Amino acid sequence: MNRHGKLNYVEMPAADIDATKAFFSKVFNWTFTDYGPDYTAFANEGLDGGFYRAPLSAKAENGSALLVFYSESLEETRNEVVRAGGTILKEVYDFPGGRRFHFAEPSGNEFAVWSDPA
């Protein structure tokens, strides 16, 4: 539902849109709607958004916002990320309130996954 003043959509770069779509489809069961060869959108995944073709990537170390998933089984999600071609940037670690890891999807964008404390 669209609500005034609330985050509604996010757009991220993707050098390889097909690989990015395949990754998120496999790991998180996302579906996409293509709008030409240079843009694909996802919906109903917590926050709607899309990927646009660009030779860039979003990384927290460069000042980009970090999008964080929640998982009920952190290790299982970590393993699925690796099986689907993702790269682990920070292995599972504890933080106040839970545990998390960071990964890059095939186009190089950084994301994190968190879970409740062990």
Res 2 pLDDT > 90: no
The strand ranges marked E within 2-77 are 9-14, 32-34, 39-42, 48-53, 67-70
> With the CA atoms of 1, 113, 62 and 47 taken in that order, what torsion angle do they form, in degrees rounded to the nearest 10?
-10
**Residues in CB range of 70: below 8 A, 6 or more apart:** 113, 114, 115
Mean residue pLDDT of the chain comes to 96
Using one digit for the tens of pLDDT, what is the confidence trace for 37-77? Answer: 999 999 999 999 999 999 999 999 999 999 999 999 999 99
pLDDT of 118? 85
Instruction: Count CB-CB contacts under 10 A for residue 78.
Output: 20
Mean pLDDT value across residues 14-32: 98
Total-model pTM: 0.94
